[in-house]
Structure 1
């Protein structure tokens, strides 16, 4: 535990992270770390909506600066907002953010610290996969990661704090655990759909992703849900529960949800909120769910950041990139197809034209994992109820 020195002055920190939504959510691990430091901290976060709005809604105490990176006066505007900070953490790590940090150092003597996005390593994985093709299987180490991307962000922040914090505060800093988190005590009021979700169990489904190539085929999602429906009816524990389906995402994914439901005879309630919620409302909805079935997408990270375990379907990207689920009860599902990964961001069309990377995922494994998550939640909640019962002996 870090011990606060007496009369510590306010620490002013600038964070630059504009896109993408998933990366912005992962960057909230830095907020989690700063909240555990026994010193007053003022954060100015430079970004773009809608991702910036998500951070601002979860942490209203943060100064959120929304500036268009393509604006001609971008550097001047951001420099004006950051001119009083003690240092800047550059989590965007692109040419524009690096030039901005150079201006801050030159004009205001503000140091900056740049996170390693491991772009070279990811690019190397893609090159090797192109050469390997489907002649060989994917090495097992590519289906896991030893370095999560949010750990790289935290590493940068820890280094900056070691430079700028008083020496008496550094003891134990490397032991402080921080994770991506949108959990906040900020009360935004209860939404109508939150009242409905107070009853029964809920499985959230996010069928979308930033790129079409990263979206699991509708047929795979249908197969998973049909098998899950059958398993629930046959499970001695789950068949006694009312399990609802919550669909989240954008307007396009609303149509995917309807296609999935068209093949299902689901007995529980269904909430298709895809296209009806903003990002913050989506986070609040996911917080009420027991589990999330999703692709390698931003909502994977949103769900985990509000404490919800996921079953994530990885197709053209690989877990070794550093973006798989990090919660112990979560899991990524992928194939050992040798042509994975086919690009650094998963947006390149399948060169074989069949998206076999998704086709080889076994629905039965996904279903067993989803069942395990929900049953564990049931068991934990029953245990909590039993613990709170008064002892009548």
Structure 2
């Protein structure tokens, strides 16, 4: 699997396979970038990373063939995974059928939007792909396992900031994820800055920015425009620690991104902004407490399947038109706080 979101959405399937086949040997193959995530996945006995480069790919294919898998579940269902499945010669291969045609029509045939069926959520679709072998839904959500050592590292970091910033124990922890895989899938920096200041004025003083190394510059820019202390962890935490940090928070505020699915899996309520993409693609928060913000009456939405570097029309109204006062009201709905934060 080739994205954090896809991997986390598969956890519903993983735990249900384990429930159905308690003694089975279950292995997971993901892109090498996300190997660190394997330790948080439920129900697996082994994990493998799919590398770059022809020689490395040939080597992992030989390694997987020696495992003698009798059943493969192909959740990506693309040219690369189909070729790999053929090489492994498993007795049974189940494939997730992506709603690519439905998604294409939503993007390119605007007049058909109101008549198109809404496909199942991707996490539910993953599970349905193996219904023929008796894997059933438990009507619960996603799951990530969190090691005590990850929590300890995060708690130490938060305790230090808590003391330095002079925050009381009653301040709720807001986790802010201002980045996404593509620029248009999140609010602009100026709007994030405006939102965080608005939250601070309402008493939400305990704010933590999260992100990977590639998100550090964006988070740095946001924090530099704030006149009060925030904890900027971007580029300074492992993926394991980000998971623990999100689980520790009272609320996550994010775009359509991997952290959104992490929050879904660890039980943290979330607020998410959808701009160029729409929940009807099947990637909305799954079976968790959440509030989505989107400008539904924009004729240009959705404009892309995965987001882009910039708005194709230049106005970026899908994010710029989101009312931040409404966002503040939603935050208050999740975690009421008085004006002084006590």
How would you bin the TM-score normalised by the shorter chain? 0.7 to 0.9
User: How many angstroms apart in 2 are the aligned matches of 1:71 and 1:56?
Assistant: 26
Matched, 1:119 2:100: yes
Once the two structures are TM-superposed, the CA of residue 125 in structure 1 deviates from its matched residue by 0.9
- Could you tell me which residue of structure 2 aligns to residue 20 of structure 1? 3
The one-character-per-residue Cα deviations of 1:24-66 (angstroms, maximum 9, x if unpaired) are: 1111111221243362232111122332321234459531112
The one-character-per-residue Cα deviations of 1:342-374 (angstroms, maximum 9, x if unpaired) are: 111112642211211111111112111122222
- Could you tell me which residue of structure 2 aligns to residue 355 of structure 1? 316
The 4+ residue runs of structure 1 with deviation greater than 6 A are none
Q: In the superposition, relative to structure 1, how do residues 214 and 174 fare at CA in structure 2: closer, same or farther (>3 Å)?
A: same
- Could you tell me which residue of structure 2 aligns to residue 247 of structure 1? 209
* CA RMSD across the alignment: 2.8
Q: In the superposition, relative to structure 1, how do residues 60 and 368 fare at CA in structure 2: closer, same or farther (>3 Å)?
A: same
User: How many angstroms apart in 1 are the aligned matches of 2:262 and 2:62?
Assistant: 30
Question: Quick check: 1:79–1:100 contact (8 Å CA) kept in 2?
Answer: no
Matched, 1:331 2:298: no
Instruction: Normalising by structure 2, report the TM-score.
Output: 0.85
Instruction: Normalising by structure 1, report the TM-score.
Output: 0.74
Partner of 2:148, secondary structure, is: coil
Question: Quick check: 1:247–1:254 contact (8 Å CA) kept in 2?
Answer: no
Partner of 2:144, secondary structure, is: coil
Question: Quick check: 2:12–2:141 contact (8 Å CA) kept in 1?
Answer: yes
User: How many angstroms apart in 1 are the aligned matches of 2:77 and 2:280?
Assistant: 20
Matched, 1:103 2:87: yes
Question: Quick check: 2:174–2:252 contact (8 Å CA) kept in 1?
Answer: yes
Q: In the superposition, relative to structure 1, how do residues 262 and 67 fare at CA in structure 2: closer, same or farther (>3 Å)?
A: closer
Unmatched 5+ stretches in structure 2: 160-168, 338-342
Once the two structures are TM-superposed, the CA of residue 265 in structure 1 deviates from its matched residue by 4.1
Q: In the superposition, relative to structure 1, how do residues 346 and 183 fare at CA in structure 2: closer, same or farther (>3 Å)?
A: same
The alignment covers a number of residue pairs equal to 325
1:270 to 230, 255, 259: 230
- Could you tell me which residue of structure 2 aligns to residue 288 of structure 1? 248
User: How many angstroms apart in 2 are the aligned matches of 1:205 and 1:180?
Assistant: 21
Unmatched 5+ stretches in structure 1: 1-16, 133-137, 163-172, 233-237, 377-393
Question: Quick check: 1:183–1:305 contact (8 Å CA) kept in 2?
Answer: no
Matched, 1:91 2:75: yes
Once the two structures are TM-superposed, the CA of residue 110 in structure 1 deviates from its matched residue by 2.2
- Could you tell me which residue of structure 2 aligns to residue 342 of structure 1? 303
2:32 to 37, 49, 63: 49
Answer with 203-212 or 257-266: which moved more. 257-266
Partner of 1:51, secondary structure, is: helix
2:190 to 206, 216, 219: 219
Once the two structures are TM-superposed, the CA of residue 222 in structure 1 deviates from its matched residue by 2.0
